[in-house]
Chains A and B, each alone.
Chain A
Amino acid sequence: MEYRNEKKGIEQNDSETSPVSFIGLVRQLLADQFVTHRYRLLAGFVALISVDFLQLSIPLLVKRAIDSLAVQEATMALLIILASTILAIAMTVVVLRFIWRMLIIGFSRYLERALRNRIFSHILAMDQYFFSNRSTGDIMAHGSNDLAAVQMACGMGMVAAVDALVLSVAAIGFMVHIHPTLTLYALLPLPFLALTTRILSAKLHHRFNHVQEEFAHLTEFARSAVVSVRLIKAYTHENSQVGDFDRLGRRYVHANIRVALIHGLLFPASTLIGNLGLLIVLVYGGRLVIDNSITIGDFAAFTTYLQMLIWPMMAVGWVANLTQRGVTALRRIHGLVTSRPILIDTSDDKAEFPVSGGFKARDLTFSYPDSSTAQLSNICFDVESGIIGIAGKTGSGKTTLCKLLIRLYPVDYQTLFYGEIDVNEIPFEQLRSQIAYVGQEPILFSDTIRANISFGIDDPSSEKIIAAARDADIHEEILGFSNGYDTIVGERGVTLSGGQRQRLALARALLYDRPVLVVDDGLSAVDTATENNIVSALRRRFSGKTVFIVSNRLKLLSMTDRILILEEGQLIDEGDHHILLQRNSFYQAMHLKQMQEDQGLSHA
């Protein structure tokens, strides 16, 4: 928890100290898209506004027809002319509407893509701290919900705002033109509609969030029940589980009904208020017709305009909520794309360093930001070349050491050297291009085996890939798959065993031909005979270069040149297999246990 707070502090310092203003958000995240697509937007809004005015002209034509019928001056010819004009306008409206939808809503999608790409490329540049602080789910939420909210606000939100504004101003204009006083009376209920929509939809949003929360509880409960179904059955907790699920289900139903209370009010309310206006027009406007102040056609046109106004009034509330949601989402996205990595490249970018395979540690001490205890303390070693084993109990700092070697976390100045140079002075890219790495959990992507191996190299030859696969002792098995090297790995393809996955990850690392290889317990699921082959291949490939292998397996360690033994973050001993077997108690104990296991007494 402390870590989190601390982290937040860092983020805030790096970005802005106070929440970014709306203008600032728009300028930083959206402005470039608005500028790039300015002509598209301009054309779109011209089309949109034209549609509004064309639509408004139709009631005028209807009014002409009705008036002429009322005074019995109408002819078939006149009616046909009026009707065809209406159709011509309606057809233009169809075309123009098609255009604005394509242009403006299309724009919102272009904008969404730009933001999405920006978020992703930002993520690619982030360090381990960033990811340890955010769950994948959070990051995904930015990529789906938040983007959707921004897209809605910039698409339909913008359209509705402009549409509502133009339509209501123009409709009111026409109405005033027919009869100002009638307009005033007819419009009386409409502000209430806007207000009601605003209040109700804000409340609706709030209650709907509550429904989502309850749904999440229900989902989480179902998930944990499904996961622990064995325990539930064993302890015969079925009834109490069903009872608890029932309670949660009822709460969910309750939350939904609370939403329905608002939702059920929202739409009838708009109908009610719209109809109230109509009522006023009938009673007051009817009197005006009787008094001959307006014609019956005016009366019909007036009611049409009034109905046209209902949508913009509802839109006001809707747009306000869309905007609010869009801005909140934009703010979250802003927080994401302005977060800075803690691990910062302090080197001089242009510096070039001689290729050298050795690592040197001088009083290397390290602790993760979320803990006060040092993971590594005062580690000193000199490694020139050869295969170096790293052994120690769980939690002794083996993995941490590997992560420091590959520069995933920052180290103090003058504590870790590559060749003779402080790693802090070497650009990340340059240092990392010297090191190949195989982690504890082999990471494979759902792609072909070939792509997974060649992942690091732009255009490797097949020979090189096969050579790497042979050295990782997996070539034969790959050929055994239905599509050989083109077999897809992962959910939609073959399922690989743990050992196969590890060897595939190793093949990937071998393809590089880099001066240093770090294998963090990456052979744990490989059997002894295969392990033997792999180590001999490593020896051949890496002669004169450096290999670090974390392992607690005696067979493997005995084949290394030198073994570092860690205990509680300290380097307690080093030497080759024979020396350690004589003098190190941890090593001896490990030896004894594994000898016995080999005799087949225990498969544990």
Chain B
Amino acid sequence: MRNFGYMEKGQNSSLSDLRLWHRILKKSEGFKVPISLAVFLSLGVTFSALSLPYLMKTGIDAYITATELPLDQRYGGLAKIGGVICLLITTGFILTFTQAVLLEWVGQSVMHRIRQQLFGHILDLDLSFLSSQPTGRLVTRLTNDVQNMYEMFTSVLVTLFNDILRLIGILVVLYLLNMQLALVMSIFVPLALVLTLVFSRLAREKFRAIRSQLSKINSFVQESVSGISIIQLFGRQHLWHEKFEALSNEYLSRTLKQIRLFAAFMPLTEFMSWLAVAMILVYGGHLVMGNDLSIGELIAYIAYMRLFFQPLRELAQKYSIVQSALASAERIFDMLDTKRQITEIEVPHHLAEARGAITFSSVGFGYEPDEPVIKQLDLDIAAGETVAVVGPTGSGKSTLISLLLRFYDPQKGTILIDGCQVKDLSLNQLRTIVGVILQDVFILDDTLLKNIVMDSGISRDEVEIILARSGMAPFIAKLEHGLDTRIGDGGRELSTGEKQLLAFARALCRDPAVLILDEATAFIDSETESILEAAIDRLEDRTSIIIAHRLSTIKRADRIVVMKDGAIVEMGTHTELLQKKAHYARLVELDTFKAV
């Protein structure tokens, strides 16, 4: 299983953390009926498993050894009991199967629900939080952690229902059969429990030691493979081999320690069951001699004691599963408890008809509080205006867009759309009013049409009209299957320019009042470029902000804003700025050398 080079730190969650248990249980709300059914089924399963030795006993005592009865009555009784057993084991079979599938369904459904909730929650969190988290960690939360939690969910349920119920059942039967013998046998309960607990604790340590060594080996291999050329060039193979052998030897010695533990524990449980048999023979035999116990009961006792040790082994194994699952559950809940900083106000304003006038008023912002990226920025953009923002990398152009979209909130100043503060709008409305065309596009492995429509719910005809109106129809016509061309994995690969066209089409389908275009810096073929330009030309009444990299685009803008070091240094039309012979003029001059 991939973990993206990300290893989870060991965490110890307490089994007795009741609040955690409570939260886990709350997640299974709505599954009360199937869970109760599963409990009911496990009563049946236990009953059928435990009545088998009892029926055997009855067969022995009532018919096989009952020499005083006439022969055909003994034969007939035996057959009758055989029939009952047959019925019982078939029922047991069906019940066990039903229960297993039912629990799987409940467990998986609950986990699915948690996974969905977590996924939605992660998508909803602040970018500033998400970018501080390694990708591997977030993915682990969604996949492996949920999976771990699932293991526990079913294990705990199965354990609680079946194993513990069975243990209790066996004890009850033992007491019913013979009180005195049962009292003697009861000493095995604490004995077995202590042994099991000690073992599972030790086993957990050993497993952890093995896992951590294995991850050392894995990262060593990874590092060696990525540095292989250097290792070979400098002739260090022998050294690397030695290092690897040392890791490999340590791994071996840790696995051997684990083998020793298992080699000691596994036979011990078996020994206990033979010890029980020996005790039953001596003490039970004594009771039989005193006519306090029948032969059948003695045989049944032996059979029940063997059944008794089986669930104990299972419990030992499950203990460690539950431990690691609780750690996962805790991590999941921690993530769910993470609140976003960028919040919506309780009753967001609603702009019925957005026109798209934008105002940045003394905006100040830095990703780190003491490293400002935007300084005291004022900018008014009228509705319907096209503004080109230019400036060197790192001047704050993209940050401006991030602020407008409320990926981050500015530390100082306010941002308004049509006179309404962006933080008073719902995030959804804000991001619908402001449509973006970034350099990067999120592509679904589906048809072009599906990729344009996404979840906007518009029809194919409408898409075609929009494409025709914005001059993008030639782009579609170029593709062999038109709108039905498959793109993404296993489909046609899109060039940088085509990706921008797709983003364009997507944005237009949502009919935003403000359009933001982050022009591609990479090379775009001239045909695509002319389509793009035509599309920009036809934006007309829409407010557009273009982070421009091409002179042709810049010239078309109503106004050019030149940014440097987080502030606006110049503003005006192309001709005005050229005449100034300052920042913009020099940028234009440089642009001619872009080919190098």
A residues engaging B (CB < 8 A)?
58, 62, 65-66, 69-70, 72, 74, 76, 79-80, 82-84, 86-87, 89-91, 93-94, 97-99, 101-102, 105-106, 109-110, 112-113, 116-117, 120-121, 123-126, 128, 131, 136-137, 139-140, 143-144, 212, 215-216, 218-219, 222-223, 225-246, 249-250, 252-253, 256-257, 259-261, 263-265, 267-269, 271-272, 275-276, 278-279, 282-283, 286-287, 289-290, 296, 299-300, 303, 307, 393, 406, 408, 429, 432-433, 435-437, 439, 443, 445-446, 455-456, 508, 512, 586, 589-590, 592-593, 596, 601-604
B74 at interface, CB cutoff 8 A: yes
- A120 touching B282, Cβ below 8 Å: no
Smallest Cβ distance from A124 to chain B, in angstroms? 5
Given contacts A69-B289, A101-B266, contact A249 B79 (CB under 8 A): no
CB distance from A99 to the nearest CB of B (A): 8
Residue in A closest to B279 when the chains form the complex, CB atoms: A83
Residues of chain A contacted by B455 (CB below 8 angstroms): 237, 239-240, 243
Q: Using Cβ atoms and an 8 Å threshold, which residues of chain A touch B233?
A: 406, 432, 435, 437
Instruction: State in angstroms the CA–CA spacing of A436 and B234 once bound together.
Output: 7
Contact B139 A236 (CB under 8 A): no
Residues of B within 8 A of A250 (CB): 112
Query: Is there contact, CB below 8 Å, between B64 and A289?
Result: yes
Interchain nearest-CB distance for B438 vs A (Å): 6
The residue in A120, A139, A408 that gathers the most chain B C-beta atoms within 10 A of its C-beta is A120
Cross-chain contact of B299 among A66, A230, A235 (Cβ < 8 A): A66
Q: How far is the CA of A234 from the CA of B407 in the complex (A)?
A: 8
Q: How far is the CB of A252 from chain B (nearest CB, A)?
A: 8
Closest A residue by C-beta to B49: A271
In the assembled complex, the CB of A383 is this many whole angstroms from the nearest CB of chain B, namely: 19
**Interchain CB contact under 8 A, A223 and B74:** no
Kindly state whether residue B268 has any CB partner on chain A within 8 Å: yes
Q: Is B550 an interface residue (CB 8 A)?
A: no
A residues in contact with B270, CB < 8 Å: 90, 93-94, 97
Contacts of B135 in A (CB 8 A): 223, 226-227
Are A443 and B56 in contact, CB atoms less than 8 angstroms apart?
A: no
Q: Knowing A90-B271, A290-B75, A432-B235, say if A226 contacts B282 (CB, 8 Å).
A: no
The minimal Cβ–Cβ distance linking A262 to chain B, given in whole angstroms, is 10
Instruction: Pick the contact of A283: B82, B279, B428 (CB < 8 A).
Output: B82
Of A222, A238, A445, A593, which one neighbours B593 at CB under 8 angstroms? A593
Of the candidates B260, B302, B503, the one whose C-beta lies within 8 Å of that of A62 is B302
CB contact between A264 and one of B65, B96, B138, B590 (< 8 Å): that residue:
B96
15 interchain pairs, CB-CB under 8 A: A62-B302, A79-B281, A89-B274, A128-B229, A233-B431, A234-B405, A234-B438, A253-B109, A264-B96, A278-B52, A437-B230, A445-B227, A455-B234, A601-B587, A602-B393
B367 within 8 A of A: no
Contact assessment for B596 and A102 in the assembled complex, using a CB-CB cutoff below 8 Å: no
A238 to B130, CA, bound (A): 15
Contact with A along B76-104 (1 / 0, CB 8 A): 00110110011001101100110111001
A299 near B235: Cβ-Cβ < 8 Å: no
In the assembled complex, the CB of B525 is this many whole angstroms from the nearest CB of chain A, namely: 18
Contact pick for A602, options B139, B241, B590, CB 8 Å: B590
For the complex, give the distance between the alpha carbons of A76 and B290 in Å: 11
User: Does A296 lie within 8 Å of B295, measured CB to CB?
Assistant: yes
Q: How far is the CB of A553 from chain B (nearest CB, A)?
A: 13
A70: B residues at CB distance < 8 A: 65, 295
Query: Whole-angstrom distance from the CB of A201 to the nearest CB of chain B?
Result: 15
CB proximity of B136 to chain A, nearest CB, Å = 9
Contact of B75 among A105, A267, A287 (CB under 8 A): A287
Query: Mostly helix, strand, loop or mixed at chain B's interface?
Result: helix
Q: Quick check: A602 and B431 within 8 Å, CB to CB?
A: no
B264-308 residues with Cβ-Cβ distance < 8 A to A are 264, 266-268, 270-271, 274-275, 277-279, 281-282, 285-286, 288-289, 295, 298-299, 302-303, 306
B143–A136 contact, CB under 8 A? Answer: no
Q: Interface residue count for B (Cβ, 8 Å)?
A: 135
| Separation of A587 and B591 alpha carbons in the complex (Å) | 17
Partner of B274, one of A86, A238, A253, A590: A86
What 17 additional pairs, Cβ within 8 angstroms, besides A242-B120, A264-B99, A290-B63?
A: A58-B277, A74-B289, A87-B275, A94-B271, A102-B263, A225-B123, A228-B440, A229-B123, A233-B127, A238-B123, A240-B454, A264-B101, A275-B92, A282-B56, A446-B223, A455-B234, A604-B392
The answer, yes or no, to whether B586 is at the interface (CB within 8 Å) is yes
User: With a CB–CB cut-off of 8 A, which chain A residues contact B124?
Assistant: 238
In the complex, what residues of A have CB within 8 A of residue B90's CB?
272
B552 on the A face (CB < 8 A): no
B431 near A236 with CB under 8 A, answer yes
B270 to chain A, nearest CB (A): 7
> Is residue B251 contacting chain A, with contact meaning CB distance below 8 A?
yes
Task: Given A219-B139, A261-B101, decide whether A602 and B392 contact each other with a Cβ distance below 8 A.
Answer: yes
CB closest chain-A residue, reference B74: A290
CA distance A290 to B85 in the complex (A): 20
A-B contact count (CB 8 A): 371
The answer, among A79, A240, A260, for a CB contact under 8 Å with B282, is A79
Which chain A positions have C-beta within 8 A of B240? Answer: 124
Contact, CB under 8 Å: B93 / A272: yes
Q: Is the CB of A586 within 8 A of B596?
A: yes
CA distance A124 to B243 in the complex (A): 12
Q: How many angstroms from the CA of A244 to the CA of B451 in the assembled complex? A: 13
Q: B217 in the interface, Cβ–Cβ < 8 Å?
A: yes
Tell me whether A260 and B100 are in contact (CB under 8 A): yes
> What 8 A-B pairs have minimum CB-CB distances, sorted nearest first?
A264-B100, A101-B263, A260-B104, A90-B274, A97-B267, A83-B278, A456-B234, A268-B96
Contact A131 B299 (CB under 8 A): no
Contact yes or no, A290 B64, CB < 8 A: yes
Residues of B within 8 A of A237 (CB): 442, 454-455
Most buried by B among A82, A252, A275, A429: A275
B248 within 8 A of A: yes
Contacts of A105 in B (CB 8 A): 259, 262-263
Nearest CB of chain B from residue A82's CB, rounded to whole Å: 6
**In the complex the two chains form, is A271's CB within 8 Å of B64's CB?**
no
Q: How far is the CA of A230 from the CA of B289 in the complex (A)?
A: 82
B89 to chain A, nearest CB (A): 4
Given the known inter-chain contacts A94-B271, A233-B127, please indicate yes or no for A601 contacting B586, CB distance below 8 A. yes
Neighbouring B residues of A240 by C-beta, 8 Å: 444, 454-455
Give complex CA distance A307, B251 in Å: 38
Q: Which of B89, B286, B595 has the most CB of A within 10 A?
A: B89
Q: Tell me whether B245 is interfacial, beta carbon within 8 Å.
A: yes
A86 pairs with B263, CB closer than 8 A: no
Nearest Cβ in chain B — how far from A44, in angstroms?
A: 11
**Which residue of chain B lies nearest to A490 when distances are taken between CB atoms in the complex?**
B223
With both beta carbons as reference points, the residue of chain B lying nearest to A443 in the complex is identified as B227
Kindly identify which residue among B249, B440, B441, B596 contacts A590, using a CB–CB cutoff of 8 Å. Answer: B596
B116 close to A (CB within 8 Å): yes
B115: nearest chain-A partner, CB-CB? A249
Interface residue B178 (Cβ < 8 Å from any Cβ of A): no
Which residues of B sit under 8 angstroms from A65, Cβ to Cβ? 281, 285
Q: Which residue of B lies closest to A602 (CB)?
A: B392
Q: Does chain A have a CB within 8 A of B2?
A: yes
Interface contact A83-B282, CB-CB below 8 Å: yes
Contacts of A455 in B (CB 8 A): 230, 234, 236
Q: Is B71 located at the chain interface by the 8 A CB criterion? A: yes
A222 CB, nearest partner CB in chain B, Å: 4
CB distance from B379 to the nearest CB of A (A): 20
What A residues does B278 contact at CB under 8 A?
83-84, 86-87, 90
Q: B477 interface residue, CB < 8 Å from A? A: no
Assess whether B11 is interfacial by the CB under 8 Å rule.
no
Q: Provide the residues of chain B in CB contact with A58, threshold 8 Å.
A: 274, 277
In the complex, the chain A residue whose C-beta lies closest to that of B260 is: A102
Measured in the bound complex, the distance between the Cα atoms of B74 and A290 in whole Å is 8
Q: Please determine whether B244 and A257 come into contact, CB atoms closer than 8 angstroms.
A: no
Report A463 CB to chain B, min CB distance, Å: 20
Chain A residues, CB < 8 A from B241: 117, 120-121, 124
